[in-house]
Chain A
Amino acid sequence: MTATPLPESAPAGGWTTGRIIEIDKPTETLVRLRFHVDDRVDHLPGQHYVVRLRAPDGYTAQRSYSIASDPDDPLLELMVECLPGGEVSGFLHDVAEVGDELELRGPIGGWFVWDGDVPAVAVAGGSGVVPIVAMTRYATRMGIQDKLRVVVVARSWEALPYAAELEKYGAFIALTRENHGDRVAHPPYPDEMGAYVEGAERAYVCGSVGFASFATRLLQESGVRTDTIRVEQFGETS
């Protein structure tokens, strides 16, 4: 991090209202929401929004979710993994409907962003692919797919959000509990990483705490400099 200059100040938005235009559940544990956002501030790929829910007695709950949509998309897309007992994710999965209006705040964050400034590699696990999808959509629209290489890891095809889209992009997909084509189930081996890390001047890691630790080590073993690695991790240790 010392050797990496900070990005120019990233866009930031205050509290606003988002109306749900589309909602679907690609799997039992995922819900995809597409919002019209009042007075939207365009984001950079990798940024996130805060969703705040408000109960009749004034109680509120808020959580951050990465943006999946390209900045050019007229709607804001979030892909939310439903966690066991998740107060906000559970509501979004079980209760939210088209037409509902939610309090949103964003975009937020200026570190885990990529705007095509440098060649990069992204390594994401499970629902950690969401901010990377925003980056691949941006890269595709700008015609700079060669500047962003992607490695994604999931237990199964079913457990990987945006699996078909990521495969079409050219991402290396490593499934750990089922075979994928000719590839036997296993996390990525360091020797599978060469073509993806070559020439990358920055690396993005997104996933659970355990995944981020694994992916950071994998990148280091593949020759990526530690101070070029940017991490976004979620989840808990007890």
Chain B
Amino acid sequence: MAITRGFIGKRKPSRPDRLPPGQYDTGSSWPTLTAEATPNLDPEKWSMTVDGLVDSPQTWSWREMHALPGSTYFGDIHCVTTWSKFDVTFAGVSVDTLLEAAGPTADAHFVMAHSTTGYTTNLPLEDVTGGKAWVVWDYNGEPLPRGHGGPVRLLVPHLYFWKSAKWVTRLELMAKDRPGFWEQNGYHDRGDPWLEQRYQGDP
């Protein structure tokens, strides 16, 4: 590709090994992106369900979720709108814990995450197992802010952040992949930032 006349670049990363291609370090800020009205979700009325292709569908209340073994993520997050944020801490429970309780069947290969708002996003099962995904309610030691999905969201930090569904309420195990909300609207089915899988048609 041709060089852009007169462009040198002002935000070259201090840690390029941690910045996927086409991303910039947003520093201390945390941009908010939402496609719909931000809900006022009452934790006591919220529940988390794992169903679909599982041996035993499970639902946990807010209190029951907090009684499960806790798990923390410390690391980086990457948004398709090109910001990355380093060294964030989220706490909640590992998706592995939820899946172990429900027992995915041998046919289950994909997951659809559903939010209370109707937002959906699809993921390969292997992207939410093996310590790669969480349901979180705590950000840097504080309750997760409402605009960022509070009180509770999915966290899949190795993929672009639209996969980390805000206000998650259900994981549906599926045999075949099916596009979620942004995936129907032009975005990639997997969304690996290191492969720059931003839009449908990317490698």
* Residue A95 interfacial (CB < 8 Å): yes
A1 touches B147 (CB 8 A): no
Instruction: Report B1-60 residues with CB < 8 Å from chain A CB.
Output: 1-12, 21-22, 24, 26, 28-39
List, in ascending order, chain A residues with CB within 8 A of B182's CB.
Answer: 111
List, in ascending order, chain B residues with CB within 8 A of A178's CB.
Answer: none
A10-B185, A61-B22 are known contacts; what are 12 more A-B pairs with Cβ within 8 Å? A12-B200, A55-B9, A62-B82, A85-B10, A108-B199, A209-B32, A216-B38, A227-B36, A232-B35, A233-B32, A234-B33, A238-B28
CB distance from A1 to the nearest CB of B (A): 4
- Measured CB to CB, the residues of A under 8 A from B are 1-3, 6, 9-10, 12, 14, 17, 52-57, 59-64, 85, 87, 90-91, 95-96, 100-103, 105, 108-112, 209, 212-213, 216, 220, 226-227, 229-238
A237 touches B31 (CB 8 A): yes
List, in ascending order, chain A residues with CB within 8 A of B118's CB.
Answer: 1-3, 227
Of all A-B residue pairs in the complex, the 9 with the closest CB atoms, nearest first, are A2-B118, A110-B185, A1-B118, A236-B29, A95-B6, A55-B9, A53-B7, A53-B4, A59-B9
B37 touches A102 (CB 8 A): no
B3 touches A61 (CB 8 A): no
List, in ascending order, chain A residues with CB within 8 A of B82's CB.
Answer: 61-64
* Residue B141 interfacial (CB < 8 Å): no
List, in ascending order, chain A residues with CB within 8 A of B5's CB.
Answer: 95, 100
List, in ascending order, chain B residues with CB within 8 A of A55's CB.
Answer: 3-4, 7-9
- Measured CB to CB, the residues of B under 8 A from A are 1-12, 21-22, 24, 26, 28-39, 81-82, 117-119, 145, 147-148, 181-182, 184-186, 199-201
By beta carbon, the residue of chain A nearest B39 is A226
Q: How far is the CA of A76 from the CA of B84 in the complex (A)?
A: 29
A91 touches B6 (CB 8 A): yes
CB distance from B165 to the nearest CB of A (A): 12
Q: How far is the CA of A63 from the CA of B24 in the complex (A)?
A: 10
B29 touches A230 (CB 8 A): no
Q: How far is the CA of A9 from the CA of B200 in the complex (A)?
A: 12
By beta carbon, the residue of chain A nearest B21 is A60
Known: A1-B118, A108-B186, A110-B185. A230 touches B6 (CB 8 A): no
A12 touches B119 (CB 8 A): no
A102 touches B11 (CB 8 A): no
CB distance from A106 to the nearest CB of B (A): 10
List, in ascending order, chain B residues with CB within 8 A of A10's CB.
Answer: 185-186
B201 touches A238 (CB 8 A): no
B7 touches A231 (CB 8 A): no
Q: Which of B4, B32, B35 contacts A230 (CB 8 A)?
A: B35
By beta carbon, the residue of chain A nearest B146 is A213
A111 touches B35 (CB 8 A): yes
List, in ascending order, chain B residues with CB within 8 A of A59's CB.
Answer: 9, 12
By beta carbon, the residue of chain B nearest A52 is B22
Q: How far is the CA of A2 from the CA of B114 in the complex (A)?
A: 11
List, in ascending order, chain A residues with CB within 8 A of B7's CB.
Answer: 53-55, 61, 91, 95
Q: How far is the CA of A103 from the CA of B39 in the complex (A)?
A: 37
B3 touches A60 (CB 8 A): no
Q: How far is the CA of A17 from the CA of B35 in the complex (A)?
A: 29
CB distance from A102 to the nearest CB of B (A): 6
A90 touches B10 (CB 8 A): yes
List, in ascending order, chain A residues with CB within 8 A of B186's CB.
Answer: 10, 12, 108-110
B3 touches A56 (CB 8 A): yes
CB distance from B83 to the nearest CB of A (A): 9
A235 touches B31 (CB 8 A): yes
A103 touches B4 (CB 8 A): yes
Residue of A61, A101, A105 contacting most chain B CB atoms (<10 Å)? A61
